[in-house]
Structure 1
Amino acid sequence: MRAFVVISVVCIYALTVWATPVKRFGVPVKAEDDCRGGANFSTDVDDCQRFYICDHGWPKVRLCAAGSVWTPLLMRCELPENAINDECGFVPPIPDNVAIDEVERADEAAQWLCADGNQRIAYHGVCDGFIQCDDGSDEADCAEVCDPTNCRLPDCKCSSGEIPGELLANEVPQLVLIGWDEAVRVEDYSHLYQQVFKKITANRRRENRNNPNGCPAVGTFFVSHQFTDYAALQSLYSQGHEIASHSISKTLPAEYWETATSEDVAAEYAGARKIFSNLAGIPESAVVGTRAAYLQTSGNEFVRTLTENGFGWDSSYATSQIDPPIWPYTFNFRSTAGCPVAPCPTASLTGFWEFPLVDWIDLNDTLCVNVDSCLFTEDKEEATTLLKTNFRRHYNTNKAPFTLNLRARWFYNDGYHNLEALQEFLDELEAMDDVYIVTYSQAMNWIRNPVKMANLLDSDVFSCDYSDRTPLCDNLNLCGYANITYQPNSEDHPGDRFFQTCSECPAVYPWTGNPDGVDQS
């Protein structure tokens, strides 16, 4: 894992030949056989949320929205109570009215370990008001039902669709939160982010999209370490975008994160923040948000550890409350958002904010969280309809923040029509005087101290003074590391890692437990 080359280059756009990963994820032989045999879809036998769509005889991986299950018979994702997938061994959830002893006998549903270490119950039985563990530990340390009179801004908000500050919908701005998941790659920086956050003017120049106060539209990047280019990351931060932690390793399988210890969580999320500081010049104090890898957390332990490590908010928990949408809330009191991906926090965790992943409804009436997990759009018209109908559900009701969760594959897998649809959609938003495209942290600042639309232009809540952010340097270092065995590589199939940075190249490839990349041999 030692660095084998350090080269000085002039511009971030200059080097793209190495940006494509050396080795991509393979696809199962079954999926290849199914698609070559004329099938439209293939089921993944190891993951009930994963399936493959056959594109000209070749399988392309797709994921169902969090909390839903691929159902081969219907060829779509369904909620667990409606799903059937024997190929992956899916076990339907046990209805709430089933006797307790039946729940405890269902090993597949009994995942929460009672304090005595001898008994397990279903996650949804924890803090439900009924003692199921013999030692009563499932009803211990439970957050109370939220009382709005005891939960007041700026440090507490109940989980609900209520607008902060008891304001009316026509008094508040519609906040649009563009969140990008995964690594920040050179090709995405050069050819994708620029086309989303900027527009082509009549004189053929690319200029910023602006909010009503004249500040540029900005987004939040939930960044994982592998394959990230740190010069690109520093450039994004210097332009006003927010950087949040999405873990260092994104270790598979997703179930790994369900039982992650506090040490695991700190090493992954606080460790990533350290890497951002070392290699992209982003102050650690500026990285205050997280999104869990695969949206899988360890519940109370996850939030407690993030709080102890100086994070202030998270955006990992999906919610089925979509009409009206739920506003961001704190974990001081019991959440009413539901728990599609268990475990979820059940204890009182004071002052930590959650930006819920409010589900979208795709064109097939299926719930989805990330845009690329919705029904695949066939053309620009369908993509535009998907964007506008989900936006209107927020804008026409309580104006809860509209989260637009994007990944690069939504654009690259389906030609250019998705990008064209998004550009047209953002053009329309830019023309609206009550819509602000801001970062998650800017949105949180507004929620904690609401400012009426009439006063926004005189407020600094969405200001854009980035003079304290270090701009990209003129001479970059290209760092390279051979024989990396971390996923998706392995001991048998090692690969290489490269990134550009204004900093000195670490001696070894930074990783969990060694974010500084110190040679420990």
Structure 2
Amino acid sequence: MKWALVFSLLFVALAFADEDCEDCLPLAETCDVEVCKLPDCRCSITDIPGGLLPRNTPQFVTVTFDDGVNTRNIITYRASLYNRKNQNGCPAGATFFVNHEYTDYTVINELYNRGFEIALHSISHQTPQSYWAEASYEDMVKEFADQKRQMAHFGNIHVDTIKGIRIPFLQMTGNASFQMMANHGFTYDCSWPTVSFTDPALWPYTLDYASEQDCIVPPCPTASIPGTWVMPMVTWTDLAGFPCSMVDACFSPPSLTDENAWYNFILTNFERHYKGNRAPFPFFIHEAFFDANPAVLRAFIRFLNLINSLPDVFMVNAQEVLDWVKNPVPISEYRQQPCRRLVPTSCRARSCGPYTAAHNNLAYWMQVCSVCPRVYPWLGNPLGQ
């Protein structure tokens, strides 16, 4: 009886150890499209989900913004994104990958109640970049799993709607971030650029099997981690033919004061998807670029006006793309589907602080939709208790 108890306890301990053991994960095998089937599995291929023809495939546009949200950049978001609708009558979407520092959580609540997707960009967004390249499973839990609770708590939004992550500097962490995602209720990562799969472009896929995607910022995942999705960051091509994963990171863009040139630049990259295999067209950017370059913002708004007028193009939240990929239907059927439903939340706004942060001794104020924290929230103490 004594030995039975010892072995039982040892089995439990090993089970918990394996949960965060990166070296214990099985190496991913080559994907077989006959075995890996939707809705739960998809190989890293450029084929349109469901075997649809391009002309029958909805062209999704995924607009995303990185970093903190606050009373300054919400002005741009209100002016460019609010009250837009696709031609199926559903609200246009966008996704915000938000980090904790300098985020106004009352603005998070506003964006959420407008139907936009709130995703995560880490608590610390710290430098150097090598911190992320060398990050462990435990580091990823502190940066993202804890941020999930933090975002839901201070923004008063539903925790189960937070599904996506983007790692700072697009620095992959090998298997660690995907293992964290699998264990903590995340659905997708959108941190992994591709320059080899742009025409035709790579569609979202799962990590049940080995990825064929090029590894631009190693280390990239090598393990089989079922249930986790990759939203590939399909790069644009700038005027000199160089790839850029973020719109504001192109080496050779048009003149920053030339609205028409920027509008045509956006259209050129869009048409590669629209006239190709209709993989989701990415518009990944930081709002500060728009703030510094009003002509680019005007070109962006013109582009949104165009796509919102097209019957086969849909500006959606990133999670909505995955919902379609899991259950692909032709445009005619997609247009008849009900719009996404939102359960709104309230915000009893409070201004908290100043707090002297333990990690850098700087003073911070916080705007929250909950009770004020006792100390400034940070890694290891995401709620500031």
Instruction: Name the residue aligned to 1:418.
Output: 296
Residues 86-485 of structure 1: pairs in structure 2 closer than 5 A:
141-189=26-74, 191-198=75-82, 208-320=83-195, 321-374=197-250, 375-378=252-255, 379-414=258-293, 416-460=294-338, 463-466=339-342, 468-473=343-348, 476-484=349-357
Q: Is the 8 A contact 1:221 1:244 kept in 2?
A: yes
What's the offset of the Cα at 1:482? 3.6
Change (3 A) 1:231 1:156: same
**CA separation in 2, counterparts of 1:148 and 1:464?**
30
If asked which structure has higher relative contact order (CA below 8 Å, sep 6+), I would say 2
**CA positional deviation for 1:155:** 0.6
| Residue 413 of structure 1, CA deviation | 2.5
| Residues 477 and 502 in structure 1, CA contact (< 8 A), matched pair in contact too | yes
The alignment partner of 2:320 has SS state of helix
The CA distance in 1 between the partners of 2:179 and 2:355, in whole Å, is 37
Shift of 1:391: 0.5
Local SS of the residue matching 1:144: coil
Contact 2:204 2:231 in 1 (8 A): yes
Contact 2:62 2:283 in 1 (8 A): yes
Structure 1 residue 272: deviation in Å? Answer: 1.1
State the 1:306 CA deviation. 1.4
Q: Partner amino acid for 1:500?
A: Q
Deviation at 1:336, TM superposition (A): 1.1
Amino acid at match of 2:171: Q
Q: Distance in 2 between matches of 1:166 and 1:240?
A: 30
Tell me how far apart the structure 2 counterparts of residues 426 and 386 of structure 1 sit (CA, whole Å): 14
Deviation at 1:373, TM superposition (A): 0.3
**In the TM superposition, what whole-angstrom CA distance separates every residue of 1:245-295 from its partner, at most 9, and x where no partner exists?**
110001100110111111110011011111111111112211111111111
Deviations 1:124-150 (A, max 9, x none): xxxxxxxxxxxxxx9x94322111101
Where 1:432 maps in the other structure, the secondary structure is coil
Counterpart residue number, 1:498: 365
2:289 is matched by which residue type in structure 1?
W
Unaligned runs of 5+ in 1: 1-137, 199-207
Give the secondary-structure state (helix, strand or coil) at the position aligned to 2:153. helix
The one-character-per-residue Cα deviations of 1:287-328 (angstroms, maximum 9, x if unpaired) are 111111111132112211211111111111111211111100
Deviation at 1:376, TM superposition (A): 4.2
Q: What secondary structure is seen at the aligned counterpart in 2 of 1:217?
A: coil
In 2, the alpha carbon distance for the partners of 1:297 and 1:409 equals 24
Please state how far the C-alpha of 1:424 moved relative to its aligned partner.
0.6
SS in structure 2 of the partner of residue 142 of structure 1: coil
Deviation at 1:485, TM superposition (A): 5.7
Distance 2:253 2:378 in 1: 35
Structure-2 separation of matches of 1:141 and 1:263: 19
1:469 CA displacement: 1.9
CA offset digits 1:402-437 (Å, max 9, x no partner): 1110101211222x1011000111111011001111
TM-score (norm 2): 0.90
Larger helix percent: 2
Distance 1:397 1:471 in 2: 43
- Matches of 1:237 and 1:186 in 2, distance apart? 15
1:445 aligns to what SS in structure 2? helix
Q: Distance in 1 between matches of 2:80 and 2:241?
A: 27
Question: 1:365 and 1:382 mapped to 2: Cα distance?
Answer: 16
> Distance between the aligned counterparts of 1:362 and 1:442, measured in 2?
28
Q: Secondary structure at the match of 2:334?
A: helix
**Residues 156 and 351 in structure 1, CA contact (< 8 A), matched pair in contact too:** yes
Q: How many Å apart are 1:196 and its aligned residue?
A: 1.6
The CA RMSD over aligned residues, in Å, is 1.5
Work out the CA distance in 2 between the residues paired with 1:157 and 1:392: 25
Aligned AA for 1:377?
P
Relative distance call for 1:471 and 1:383 in structure 2 (3 A) is: farther
8 Å CA contact retained: 1:372, 1:409: no
CA contact (8 A) 1:163 1:327 kept: yes
TM-score scaled to structure 1, two decimals?
0.67
Cα distance between partner residues in 2 of 1:141 and 1:442: 30
Change (3 A) 1:464 1:310: closer
Aligned residues: 358
Give the structure 1 partner of residue 13 of structure 2: none
Measured in 2, the distance between the counterparts of 1:149 and 1:296 equals 32
1:220 is aligned with what amino acid?
T
**Separation in structure 1 between the aligned mates of residue 176 and residue 362 of structure 2, nearest angstrom:** 34
Q: Which amino acid aligns with 1:360?
A: W
Structure 1 residue 471 displacement after superposition: 3.8
Partner of 1:47: none
Deviations 1:2-51 (CA, angstroms, capped at 9, x unpaired): xxxxxxxxxxxxxxxxxxxxxxxxxxxxxxxxxxxxxxxxxxxxxxxxxx
Q: Is the 8 A contact 2:350 2:370 kept in 1?
A: yes
Structure 1 or 2: more strand by fraction: 1
CA–CA separation in structure 2 for the residues paired with 1:472 and 1:346: 42
Mapped to 2, the partners of 1:394 and 1:304 lie a distance apart of 31
Larger radius of gyration: 1
Deviations 1:175-200 (A, max 9, x none): 011111100111101x21012213xx
